[in-house]
Amino acid sequence: MGTTGTPPGVGSSVVTPTTDSPSAPAAPVGLSSQAEVSAEIAAQARARTAATPQPRLDYPAYRSSLLRHPTKAPVPVDPEGVELWAPAFGERDLDPAEADLTASATGGEPIGERMVVTGRVTDGEGRPVRRQLVEVWQANAAGRYAHGRDQHPAPLDPHFTGSGRALTDDDGRYAFTTIKPGPYPWRNHDNAWRPAHIHFSLFGHDFTQRLITQMYFPGDPLFDLDPILQSVTDPAARARLVATYDHDVTSPEWSTGYRWDIVLTGPRRTVTEDPDA
């Protein structure tokens, strides 16, 4: 048993509890155990029929998806008109200081590992997504969100809100200064923990490239146990959600550095198309 039959996660190694393990504590009534959820994850991985880069929407191991995934196939359509354009954002929409999540309104420094995350946003042909909006949000170093419904009994940090915005530059690059978020428990199943992650919201060249996703940190032991990450059943695609530690992004005596590039696909209008044409 153990991890037998479980596909490799993303560069992690962890002992998955099994249903017949005498050391596995009994789950509270009404909640599945991690072993049961891990078995579901493994079964979904075995049932994978095609390499697809996107998460399965019908992924029962993520309990909240049960009543919230469409059961009918999405209808293919040729994007047209406004769908071939993305909303425009610019300097008037945000302040460059919003890219520094450690710059608190209180003037105090947040607790945690200061880090920079940077990368490029490109389309499926490798072209930079220029001057476009990137939004991030995350838990604090203790794994607690500055959100009223987060009931995790970990401390809030008065000097850390955990949301930021930036525009990509002309090469599609973004950069945020923040602190490394902690993992946190949730109630998908008994003893469920999310790997540490930063939420990213992205706009591309056209409306169909709109993407909301999550960036993870290399080597996290929770990868294999997490149904949200594992809903991306293609291991290669899953790996693209994991940032790379980059010592060239790390600054001496200041912060560690991670690199994470983002690729937004979807049809793209031809470069000659213009809304005023």
Catalytic positions, written as ranges: 145, 184, 194, 197, 199
Q: Distance from first CA to last CA of the chain, Å, rounded?
A: 64
Number of residues that bind another protein (CB under 8 A): 87
Choices 17-25, 33-41, 156-164, 243-251 (CB under 8 A): range interacting with another protein: 156-164
- In whole angstroms, the minimum distance from the beta carbon of 50 to another protein comes to 4
* Interatomic CA distance for residues 89 and 132, integer angstroms: 6
Name which of 165, 162, 167, 196 is nearest 178 in CA terms. Answer: 162
Within residues 186-215, the interface with another protein by CB under 8 A covers: 199, 201, 207-208, 210-214
- Residue 161 interacts with another protein (CB under 8 A): yes or no: yes
Residue recorded with tokens 């470069």:
271
Nearer to another protein, 111 or 263 (CB): 263
Choices 13-21, 102-110, 118-126, 245-253 (CB under 8 A): range interacting with another protein: 118-126
Residue recorded with tokens 């909301």:
212
* Interatomic CA distance for residues 18 and 181, integer angstroms: 29
Map residues 219-258 to x or -, x wherever contact with another protein holds by CB under 8 A.
---------xx-xx---xxx-xx-----------------
Within residues 35-64, the interface with another protein by CB under 8 A covers: 49-59, 62, 64
- CB atoms < 10 A from the CB of 258, how many? 24
Among 145, 174, 176, 217, which residue interacts with another protein (rule: CB under 8 A)?
A: 145
Nearer to another protein, 12 or 21 (CB): 12
CB 201 within 8 A of CB 261: no
In three-state secondary structure terms, 66 is coil
What does the angle CA 36 – CA 196 – CA 58 come to, to the nearest 5 degrees? 45
Within residues 85-104, the interface with another protein by CB under 8 A covers: 85, 87-94
Map residues 163-182 to x or -, x wherever contact with another protein holds by CB under 8 A.
x-x-----------------
* Interatomic CA distance for residues 37 and 20, integer angstroms: 14
- Residue 141 interacts with another protein (CB under 8 A): yes or no: no
In three-state secondary structure terms, 203 is coil
